[in-house]
Every structure is written in C-alpha cells, then in structure tokens.
Amino acid sequence: MPTDLWGTLDSDGNVLAAGSTKFTSVKQSSGTYLLTFSPPLTTIPALTGSLCGVNANPANQGGLVFSQVSKDSATVITLDDEGENSDTGFAFIGMSGT
C-alpha cells in the first residue's frame, strides 16, 4: 500500500503541519534541512515541494532541491533567487510504497 507523506515547515525547520506518516526535521545550516522518516519507508520516496512563507521578500523566485533521498531521510535545500542557500519555509508531498 502506498504511503502518503506531506508536511509544511517554517524557516527554522519546525513542522507546522504534517500527514499521517511520521517525520522529524532538523535545520542543519542556512537553507539546509534534514527530514527523517520514522519508521523508515518501504521504498525511496518520490518528493516534490515549493517554498512558502517567503520571509521578507514576497517576490522571491528561489526554489528547493531534494538531495540524498533514502528510505529513512531526505535533505532539503532552499535557495533564494540568486541560487544561494536561504532560510525559507517550504511544503512538500511525496509517495512511497507499492
């Protein structure tokens, strides 16, 4: 059975909302967040996301990257409009399983 996975996080990595799949978040450095899935997922998830709560710059044209994705974790990097790491809230969704 597929696992639904979603969450909304603020710029400090605090989880503001989440689905039924349990995960934690730790801000590792500027614009870099580690999501840890517990228990681990059955397969590597397919993830997508977007920036939200764009701090002081509502015209921010930045983006985010999912890096080092595995069954038990994923690193999320949020970027500003110049491609530099930037502390920004984000939302994500994903699927895992068969």
Q: Is the pTM higher than 0.85?
A: yes
Task: Quote the CA–CA distance of 81 and 71 in Å, as a whole number.
Answer: 30
What's the confidence (pLDDT) of residue 65? 97
Report in angstroms the alpha-carbon separations of 70 from 10, 28, 53, 65.
Answer: 22, 17, 27, 14
Could you check whether the bond before residue 39 is cis, i.e. omega within 30 degrees of 0? yes
Whether the per-residue pLDDT at 98 is higher than 70: the answer is no
Q: What is the mean pLDDT of residues 11-35?
A: 94
Q: Domain 3-96 belongs to what topology?
A: Immunoglobulin-like (2.60.40)
Q: What is the pLDDT of residues 36-74, one digit of tens each?
A: 999 999 999 999 999 986 555 555 578 999 999 999 999
